Structure 1
Amino acid sequence: MGWAKTEGGSKMCIVKGPFLIPLLLAGQVQEDEVVDSKILEYCSIDKKGKKSLGELEQEFLQALQAFYYEGKAIMSNEEFDNLKEELMWEGSSVVMLSSAEQKFLEASMAYVAGKPILSDEEYDKLKLQLKIDGSEIVVEGPRCSLRSKKVYSDLAVDYLKMFLLNVPAAVVALGL
């Protein structure tokens, strides 16, 4: 794939093949620039400029929090829709969260930022309700307490995955 600049100054993406050779000979292909007019603002294939999925999710949640809790929009509706569409294409589960799950994530982010939006009792009640509902948002990885010298974890063993991972080894070992 290459990048070419048209006479009007706009850039377009070109695919290797018979069309690339005349442009290369004309000296119109630019190596350093990675711009495509056909992609969304948040979709960039430039290794230097693309935001990670976590950064996009955080930006999405910040936009929701600013709009619903602070009453101000930090991005236009079009930018928000583009961001939401990009997250859906990336396979992010944040876009598909229920309102309670979004509220939990926003409360967690606000607490870490030093601006809690829920009281401790409301937060604990919301977290317990999400655990009862089976939401994976509240599942935490292993963590330990230095005072009690105990390790805590909310994770559960996935026996189906363990079985599926061991089937190829069993087939090879048995020579089937």
Structure 2
Amino acid sequence: MKLNLVNRIFKILILTSLFFSCSSDLDFDQANDLKLEPVFVANLAYFNIPATQLANDGGTQILFDVQEFNAFKDSFFRDNLVKAEFDFEIENTIVRAFRVEMVLLDANDQILERDSYSVPAYSGTPNIIKYPTEVFENDRLDLLKKTVKMKFFVIMATGPALDQNSVGNLKLRSSANVYMEIE
């Protein structure tokens, strides 16, 4: 009997506590102050050139590739972009030195920017180079927003002759970190 009475009192106290709550005025104007700052990471460019594709008598050689760069066709993306960072990593296992150039072109194929990366010849030790981050802000970001094509040049320096039996590869990996501000 006492247990039943204690049980009832406990239930009554629990139920009455449910009727007491805290509340405050809701401020829906806070939605006007909302500011989103997303960061996106994306692959920018990649290539893997085997030494057999570079067969020559030891002289210089130039290869190039052109890629469409449609990132800024969308006005939402273009208008809300505040910063971009490009990271480049090149691995060379070929006994020749290289220079890799990235050229940003506008709609009229005019050069907006040219960045060059020296790659030493492979000498038997790991040859992976991480280059300083290319940061695009302010005026440089405005140039990037005009980019519609990216052209990559691979310039091979003079050195030992390469043939169909040559070993090694030249690999480029790059990524972009894109910072946006949406209000």
TM-score, structure 1 as length reference = 0.19
Structure having greater relative contact order (Cα 8 Å, sep ≥ 6): 2
TM-score, structure 2 as length reference = 0.19
Which one has the largest radius of gyration? 2
Which structure has greater strand proportion?
2
